[in-house]
Amino acid sequence: MEEKIKIYIPESVNSILLKDMERFEFFKKDGSLNKNEFYNTLIVNYYEQYEENQSDIFSHIKESIESRTSLKDQDISDIAADILQYVDIRTYQLDRERFDVAIAMKPTKKSSDDIDYIQNCLLGNSTLSNYFRNMFASYSLLPQDKRETIIFRQNFELIRQAIDNDRKIYFTTTNNNAPHIVSPYTIANSKEELFNYVLCKYNNFPYSFRIGRIKQIKILNESRDLTGPIIEVFDRMARFGPQFSYEVKKPHVPIKVKFSERGKRQYRSMYLHRPQYFKEEDDIYYFDCSRSQAFQYFSRFGSNAVVLEPEDLRSDLQKFFSIADRKYRRIDKALSKEEDAEIASEEDWR
């Protein structure tokens, strides 16, 4: 198949597809979104899972009808197909929105065989355009980290294969062509369900790499090199936030934070990168997250959350706020001089 396929979708679905192209970095050389590559990648990596889900629902509907009627098999299949179509419409909320957005997708060498198979074997009474519309709508309802596993399916499969077979892997990344040889430990998603990371030992340190930015993965014929202390770090990273680094050399101590009443309210409402506390004593909360996560999160609180321990983290935050304070003071002085100059200029004019 070489001609373009036109697919009509709701704006809500189109918005998620466009955002995912940016999040998952599908760009052309000129910096514009590579829409066609993304659509084709989504189809190739998702149609089997989508079809399996549809087949499971269809089989369940059909079995339910068969147990209650003596209709012919073809009649039962037709009724089940009608019910499934209605379920799709309501599940994907396609009855509540107009299909205002028309996207044009041209099959590529990577996708043409799969699209031919879909057209010849999977459509039933549907059209290819409607099939892809429902598939894209189904994709859009998944959490972002699950959508990432679809778009970068091959990366996930290779990493899991290496872990299952106790093997190291080689790869480069989209922002660094330098070779990386690592011992993968596990795959973990961020607590906000945004991205997925492979936790691995790299140059004798615990690292996390975002799986969507990994390319050219090769499984090596070399066993992983993982020890007890670094595995403990990986387990902590998986619990609290795989995107944040830990230091193995420094002894890990709990992070002790004193909240104001306003700080407690902020903690409840500021979800992004929020660490979970394991103990609370009045206004003091105890956290077991990494220093980097605590710094990034609590630096947004100002005076409403003060880190008491460890000392080095408290010192880093003091420097952070002190530098910001000095910059604001310099800006205030500069603005004050400009205002004085403007006033003088006005008085001279008068």
Q: Structural domains in the chain?
A: 5-141 (no CATH), 151-240 (2.30.30), 253-350 (3.30.70)
Dihedrals φ, ψ of 316, to 5°?
-65, -40
pLDDT tens sequence across 103-128 = 999 999 999 999 999 999 988 778 89
Please give the Cα distance from 294 to 312 (Å, whole number): 12
Round to the nearest angstrom and report the end-to-end CA distance of the chain: 79
Q: Give yes or no for a contact between 287 and 267, defined as CB atoms under 8 angstroms apart.
A: no
How high is the mean pLDDT of the chain? 84
Token output for 86 = 């209605």
Alpha helices in the chain (DSSP H): 11-23, 35-66, 73-91, 112-117, 128-140, 144-151, 153-164, 228-240, 261-269, 291-298, 311-349
Q: Is the pLDDT of residue 269 over 90?
A: no
- Residue whose pair of structure tokens reads 């087949």 in the numeric block: 55
Q: Is the pLDDT of residue 343 over 60?
A: no
Q: Provide the whole-model pTM.
A: 0.72
Q: Is the pLDDT of residue 341 over 70?
A: no
Token output for 218 = 């090769």
Dihedrals φ, ψ of 226, to 5°?
-125, 130
Give the pLDDT score at 67. 61
Q: What is the per-residue DSSP string for 73-93?
A: HHHHHHHHHHHHHHHHHHHTT
Give the pLDDT score at 188. 92
Buried b (16+ CB within 10 A) or exposed e, 153-175: bebbebbeebbeeebbbebeeee
pLDDT tens sequence across 145-191 = 999 999 999 999 999 999 999 999 999 998 878 899 999 999 998 87
pLDDT band at 350; cut points 50, 70, 90: very low
Q: Is the pLDDT of residue 349 over 50?
A: no
pLDDT band at 88; cut points 50, 70, 90: low
Please give the Cα distance from 241 to 311 (Å, whole number): 22
Q: What percent of the chain has pLDDT over 90?
A: 46
pLDDT tens sequence across 33-49 = 999 999 999 999 999 99
Give the pLDDT score at 190. 84
Token output for 15 = 């918005």
pLDDT band at 85; cut points 50, 70, 90: low
Is 191 or 9 the better-scoring residue by pLDDT?
9
Q: Give yes or no for a contact between 69 and 76, defined as CB atoms under 8 angstroms apart.
A: yes
